[in-house]
Structure 1
Amino acid sequence: MKRPAHSLVAVAVAALLGGCSLIPTYERPAAPVEADFSAHGAAPAGAQPATADIGWRQFFGDERLQRLIALSLENNRDLRVAVLNIEAARAQYGVTRADQFPGINANANGTRQRTPGDLSYSGRSTIGSQYQVNLGVTAFELDLFGRVRSLSQAALAQYLASEETRRSTQISLVAQLANAYLNERSSDELLALAQRTLKTRQDSYGLIKLRYDAGAASELELQQAESLVQSALSEQAIAERNRAQATNAIVLLIGQPLPADLPAPRPLSEQGLLADVPVGLSSDLIERRPDIRSAEQQLRSANASIGAARAAFFPRISLTGAFGTASSQLSGLFDSGSLAWSFAPQISLPIFDGGRNRANLDLSEARKNIAVAQYEKTIQTAFREVADALDAKGTYDRQIQSQQTLVDASRRSLELSDMRYRNGVDSYLQLLDSQRALFTAEQSLLQARTQRLNNLVGLYKSLGGGWEENTVAAKAAPPTSTVQ
């Protein structure tokens, strides 16, 4: 039996009212990077939380640094701006989403007007009055082709992108503060090293001065000892300046002066200052790193905007209507017979616009292609940051080991040089060179340790760590890899 014609019409109308979407089907672009980080020194590891799930309280073992991070998350202005940007994006999404629903307004108005006699049909001047009370809908668009929904989805993606940007801002803030703190600790330890070296050289200068006064040392030896003292004073001044500037950087990041009750710092050479960093697949990086997720939301927003640009080629139907009462007398507004209503649908079909709609569609598609390129670049940048940190990890370990051996050898060389000088075997120049070599080796060792710790902080950040305060329990996941 054939379906009645009115049933087909009803189905067609229902389909139109249900609306359609002209947004292209979204497909995540393929990641232009390797599948894993095995080529960069990451070895397979057992089940454990991903780096993004490791809380910064568990990663940073120094209680002083933990306290500073907590203060920065409370007071930092950059993070505050990121939070306010989220609120702005959320409000903008609310404004755009509201266009999907009719706005109903209650209106009341009155008009009293005098018409001159030469404009009146009766030839006499008249005074007329009109009063109305109604509920009305103004220019509500029937979103048959999904234009408004496309704009709403684009705004939602922008809002979600701002959320991810806020996460990225916090992760960067935690890493910046950790690096500033490590630089302060390094400057502090360099200052202590310079002070110890200065004390040693001053004592040596005192002995040389006594020998010079007794005629047992030459003026050249005295001047060489003096040069070592002045060199140590210069190094001490540099360390003091660097420490003060590092402290200023911390104060800026925490948004307030340093509290007086901060816990005592831990030495940079102490074990457990930073935790191990597990490294997963590149697909895990894409899923967990907030700047990549933000770039993908920007891509989704650009994709949704294409749907709005396509819908502009089709008719736009809007409805305006009102229902209420009207009367020439204010007292008769709600009397029987005062019912008034109006209904004014409007349809607009683009016929000729000088190529505006075509240009808008081309612009939307171009912006999507830009968003794809930016998304792929963000992935490549993230992958490189992880790879660089992994490649540096092993070299820093070897560098520190070699540098420690150099320090030990330089210290023994200084002891032997001092003995040979006191016994008259070597000149003071040999002792001077040994002192300089030891100081340089100790400086290099401390700098290498600082660089290694900064590199681990960078690896933690590049893998999305720093968002959680405390470690999230490990979930069932494919095998990952870890830094060995």
Structure 2
Amino acid sequence: MKRDKIVYGALLCGVVLLCNSCMLGRRQIKSPELELPATVVADATDSLTMADMAWWNVYSDSTLTALIERTLERNKDMLAASARVRRMRALGRVARADQLPSVSGQLAADTEHNDYEGEPASDDPEFDAKVSLAWELDLWGNLRWANRKAVAEYLATVDAQRALQMTLVAEVATAYYELVALDQELSIVRRTLQTRKEGVRQARLRFEGGLTSETALQQAKVELASTATLIPGLESRIALKEHQIALLAGAYPTLRIDRQTMEMHARLPERLKVGLPSELLKRRPDLRQSEQTLRAAEAAMGMASADRFPRITFSLTGGWENDDLKGLFSSPFSYVN
């Protein structure tokens, strides 16, 4: 009989493990077969594209790279995205832990005051120490679907953070170069203004000497006034651009934006390698985020399918319980649910 009990117990464990390996619902999301071409241009391949380069290697301006680093560290949206990644990572750990047995303990002491009709009032003290072990059999795959959902949501937040990082790097670099260009334009306008002032001075001398008419002098003054009106607009645009960069960097508008001067004689490459656009498309973080969101929705459907069936949970509780603290450890108990 002892051997039969062992066999029956082994069979029961096998049935439980077999049922625990079942999952309701099917994985229906598959990566599409895009049938991408091997090359974009015949007899021309590009194995090193701009997408393979880190952003700090793309920009040679050390002032710009320092500004981008500050932005990625202090931008409010970036900090929120990082917090969402940490949150989803923690929730993923919780989902994985739900598949394991849980252990809990309790220490309690209470007094129950009884005053029944026809009986004298009495106090009923109770002291107990309990330890519980609970484990849910994942017969229909509910917990495993929940784990997959948590993983997909975590990966979606990671890709969202990467997409935001790419956007911030591009926005800061664009605003920085626009600011440098505005500085250069303002410098040119101010030099032009000095030239116009000199032109007015010479036109006045020629007019007073009788060499030209008053029309030439008035025309020089108009050109001077037209040039002078450009400076306030450029200064306002420069201030707005500085405020935009400060906002991206997570700072107040009072932040001083350091920048270098524009290199007017820089030589640019005649040709740029473009890589394989279809391959770059598959690596876009926003598309990868959408794919993970879709996988999380599929896992949620699996959880909903598994919730139609009953759940089985084993619970084992043991400890000590007594009306007197002195005899607590002499009164053990245990029960199984």
- Give the counterpart letter for 1:241 in structure 2: S
2:166 maps to 171
Deviations along 1:264-312, whole A, 9 cap, x unmatched? 43425512599945422413321x2212211111111111111001112
Asked whether 1:340 is paired with 2:300, we answer: no
Asked whether 1:86 is paired with 2:79, we answer: no
Q: Secondary structure at the match of 1:64?
A: helix
Of 180, 183, 193 in structure 1, the residue corresponding to residue 188 of structure 2 is: 193
Of 256, 259, 263 in structure 2, the residue corresponding to residue 258 of structure 1 is: 256
1:184 maps to 179
Following superposition, the deviation at residue 86 of structure 1 comes to: 1.2
2:276 maps to 280
Asked whether 1:315 is paired with 2:314, we answer: no
Deviations along 1:401-431, whole A, 9 cap, x unmatched? xxxxxxxxxxxxxxxxxxxxxxxxxxxxxxx
Q: Secondary structure at the match of 2:104?
A: strand
Inter-CA distance 264–274: structure 2 relative to 1 (3 Å threshold): farther
Inter-CA distance 331–118: structure 2 relative to 1 (3 Å threshold): same
Inter-CA distance 193–263: structure 2 relative to 1 (3 Å threshold): closer
Alpha-carbon distance between aligned partners in 1 of 2:39 and 2:205, rounded to the nearest angstrom? 63
Deviations along 1:348-406, whole A, 9 cap, x unmatched? xxxxxxxxxxxxxxxxxxxxxxxxxxxxxxxxxxxxxxxxxxxxxxxxxxxxxxxxxxx
Alpha-carbon distance between aligned partners in 2 of 1:61 and 1:278, rounded to the nearest angstrom? 20
Deviations along 1:228-281, whole A, 9 cap, x unmatched? 11111112222222222222222333345337xx57434255125999454224
Of 222, 244, 251 in structure 2, the residue corresponding to residue 249 of structure 1 is: 244
Asked if 2 retains the 8 angstrom alpha-carbon contact of 1:186 and 1:268, the reply is: no
Alpha-carbon distance between aligned partners in 2 of 1:223 and 1:51, rounded to the nearest angstrom? 55
Taking structure 1 as the reference length, what is the TM-score of the superposition?
A: 0.60
Deviations along 1:104-142, whole A, 9 cap, x unmatched? 1111223433433536xxx5555434332221146x432
Alpha-carbon distance between aligned partners in 2 of 1:243 and 1:36, rounded to the nearest angstrom? 46
1:22 maps to 25
Name structure 1 gaps, 5 residues minimum: 345-484
Name structure 2 gaps, 5 residues minimum: 1-6
- Give the counterpart letter for 1:135 in structure 2: V
Q: Secondary structure at the match of 1:118?
A: coil
Question: Cα RMSD over matched residues?
Answer: 3.1
Following superposition, the deviation at residue 59 of structure 1 comes to: 1.3
Alpha-carbon distance between aligned partners in 2 of 1:217 and 1:110, rounded to the nearest angstrom? 111
Alpha-carbon distance between aligned partners in 1 of 2:189 and 2:83, rounded to the nearest angstrom? 46
Asked if 2 retains the 8 angstrom alpha-carbon contact of 1:112 and 1:127, the reply is: yes
Report how many residues are paired.
Answer: 327
Following superposition, the deviation at residue 181 of structure 1 comes to: 0.8
Deviations along 1:40-69, whole A, 9 cap, x unmatched? xx7864454333321223211223222322
2:226 maps to 231
Asked if 2 retains the 8 angstrom alpha-carbon contact of 1:23 and 1:304, the reply is: no
- Give the counterpart letter for 1:270 in structure 2: A
Inter-CA distance 44–169: structure 2 relative to 1 (3 Å threshold): farther
Inter-CA distance 129–241: structure 2 relative to 1 (3 Å threshold): closer
1:134 maps to 130
Q: Secondary structure at the match of 2:320?
A: strand
Alpha-carbon distance between aligned partners in 2 of 1:113 and 1:191, rounded to the nearest angstrom? 86
Alpha-carbon distance between aligned partners in 1 of 2:104 and 2:117, rounded to the nearest angstrom? 38
Equivalence map 1:296-375=2 (5 Å): 296-335=291-330, 338-344=331-337
Inter-CA distance 23–97: structure 2 relative to 1 (3 Å threshold): farther
Alpha-carbon distance between aligned partners in 2 of 1:170 and 1:46, rounded to the nearest angstrom? 28
Quote the sequence identity (%). 28
Alpha-carbon distance between aligned partners in 1 of 2:305 and 2:312, rounded to the nearest angstrom? 16
- Give the counterpart letter for 1:73 in structure 2: L
Following superposition, the deviation at residue 186 of structure 1 comes to: 1.0
Q: Secondary structure at the match of 1:324?
A: strand
Deviates more, 1:65-74 or 1:182-191: 65-74
Asked whether 1:145 is paired with 2:140, we answer: yes
Alpha-carbon distance between aligned partners in 2 of 1:55 and 1:109, rounded to the nearest angstrom? 59
Q: Secondary structure at the match of 1:334?
A: helix
Deviations along 1:310-369, whole A, 9 cap, x unmatched? 11221222333311122232222222xx2211222xxxxxxxxxxxxxxxxxxxxxxxxx
- Give the counterpart letter for 1:59 in structure 2: V
- Give the counterpart letter for 2:72 in structure 1: L
Asked if 2 retains the 8 angstrom alpha-carbon contact of 1:212 and 1:218, the reply is: yes
1:77 maps to 76
- Give the counterpart letter for 1:297 in structure 2: Q
Alpha-carbon distance between aligned partners in 2 of 1:181 and 1:44, rounded to the nearest angstrom? 38
Equivalence map 1:30-179=2 (5 Å): 38=40, 45-116=44-115, 118=117, 125-137=121-133, 140-179=135-174
Inter-CA distance 89–274: structure 2 relative to 1 (3 Å threshold): farther
Following superposition, the deviation at residue 81 of structure 1 comes to: 1.8
- Give the counterpart letter for 2:243 in structure 1: N
Asked if 2 retains the 8 angstrom alpha-carbon contact of 1:62 and 1:266, the reply is: no
Deviations along 1:64-113, whole A, 9 cap, x unmatched? 22232223233322222221121122222233333222321111223433
Asked if 1 retains the 8 angstrom alpha-carbon contact of 2:46 and 2:274, the reply is: no
